[in-house]
Amino acid sequence: MSNDCPFCGIVAGEIPGRIVHETDDVTAFLDANPLAPGHTLVVPNDHHERLDDLPEKLAREVFAVLHQLTPAVEAAADADGSNVAFNNGPAAGQEVPHLHGHIIPRFDDDGGAPIHVVAGNRPDLTEDDLDAIAEDIRNAR
């Protein structure tokens, strides 16, 4: 737990939260600043800032909760679909430094855009660029 982390405070019961799912390892609650009705956050109970900080076993548990809750959130919001995403680090828009997955209900007429617009302008990459990036990723694992 981190004393200055609002999500740790919600998990500990020190800060009010609209909890929708709770286990010994993972908690889910409604986002206090929702992008849509039913916008839900799924967090590991222990403080981890980024995906690469998360132990593999706990990552499986977080993703299992996301898998379980996504259809429940969509049904509760009467949504046509959802975006499920992580902002991993400040450069990616992560505002609270406690790993959290978003389930954002989406509606046919909500005016939103696909996840591809999050990154802004697309890079102009050649086939050689793509091959080199793929190789770098394989080598970094």
Kindly state the helix (H) or strand (E) to which residue 128 belongs, with its residue range: helix 127-140
What kind and span of H or E run contains 22? Answer: strand 19-22
One-letter amino acid of 129: D
Whether 100 is catalytic:
yes
Tokens coding 45: 């109970």
CA neighbor of 27 nearest in space, from 90, 101, 84, 92: 101
Distance (Å, rounded) from C-alpha 10 to C-alpha 1? 11
Contacts of 66 (CB under 8 A, 6+ apart): 42, 84, 101, 103
Q: Of the residues 21, 100, 102, 116, which is catalytic?
A: 100
Catalytic site positions: 100
